[in-house]
Amino acid sequence: MDRFSPLKNPLVIALDVDSDTQALKLAVDLADFAGGYKLGPRLIHRYGPEFVAKIAEIAPLFVDCKFFDIPSTMESAVQASFDCGASLVTVHAMAGREALTRLAELEKKLNEQRPFRILAVTILTSWNEKSFPANFKSLPVAEHVQNLVELVQSSGLSGVVCSPEELDFLQGKDLYLVAPGIRPESVSKDDQQRTRTPFEAMKAGASALVIGRPIIAATDPMKAALEISLTMVGR
């Protein structure tokens, strides 16, 4: 698969709203700008697979439920997401080698039907060293990310979700790097701790950027999406 596959372009718009009507309107209105749309539990659990399939008909769909369970349950959850139309699905890298290895085999199988990626989440962008759970080793975020990425690659997967701060040292490793926590200079960081601008993240090697509130909460979402699309390439 090429650098941006299975997306139309590297901009993934996160439809982090509570209404299916609002989400569908945003998806239709922003279709000219979106490389894909991200859905999370707040909409998926409320409106179910039929709603998920509707979004997937508009643009490539990123199901972001960060599955973290025993291997067989994770396999079933990824398969169910694919069956609903997902082109990208997140799992937690911390699920371990057995789960990731089995998921890598599933990814190969599903790619025989259409382009599909499993993305392993490393360290959430809302975390830093001060907010780690007490059972975490006392290591910098970057070391945790590096260790998890090594596990992901050795298990056979190449898709990784990481903050834009980690993009620099993950370049050149033949990875599909998806970066959330993207904020234009004029926009608040909200609850994100490790952020960069769209241009900075793309320059640092991101394959795709996940952007929600700076677009969907804007007074004019289409204008915001256009401006972000242009800044991604330095215009």
pLDDT in tens, 74-108: 999 999 999 999 999 999 999 999 999 999 999 99
pLDDT at 15 over 50: yes
Give the mean pLDDT of 38-53: 96
pLDDT, tens digit, 9 for 90 and up, residues 120-134: 998 777 766 676 777
Q: What is the pLDDT of residue 235?
A: 62
Query: Residue by residue, what is the 3-state secondary structure of the chain?
Result: CCCCCCCCCCEEEECCCCCHHHHHHHHHHCCCCCCEEEECHHHHHHHHHHHHHHHHHHCCEEEEEEECCCHHHHHHHHHHHHHCCEEEEEEEHHHCHHHHHHHHHHHHHHHCCCCCEEEEECCCCCCCHHHCCCCCCCCCHHHHHHHHHHHHHHHCCCEEECCHHHHHHHCCCCCEEEECCECCCCCCCCCCCCCECHHHHHHCCCCEEEECHHHHCCCCHHHHHHHHHHHHCCC
Both tokens of 81, joined, read 């997401």
Provide the pLDDT for residue 190.
52
Closest of 50, 49, 56 to residue 15, by C-alpha: 56
Supply the pLDDT for residue 188: 52
Amino acid 230: pLDDT: 92
Which domains does the chain carry? 11-232 (3.20.20.70)
Q: Which neighbouring-strand residues pair with 13?
A: 37, 211
The per-residue pLDDT for 120 is 97
Question: Which span out of 23-37, 118-132, 221-235 was modeled with the highest average pLDDT?
Answer: 23-37
- Find, among 160, 191, 197, 190, the residue nearest to 176 by Cα: 160
> What mean pLDDT do residues 212-232 have?
94
Is pLDDT at 44 greater than 70 in this prediction?
Answer: yes
| CA dist., res. 50 & res. 40, Å (int) | 15
Residue 147 C-alpha from the chain's centroid: 19
d(CA 49, CA 51): 5
Instruction: Show the tokens assigned to 151.
Output: 């596990």
pLDDT of residue 228: 94
Tens digits of per-residue pLDDT, 56-69? Answer: 999 999 999 999 99
Mean pLDDT rounded to a whole number for the chain? 90
pTM, whole model, 2 decimals? 0.90
Q: List the catalytic residues.
A: 66
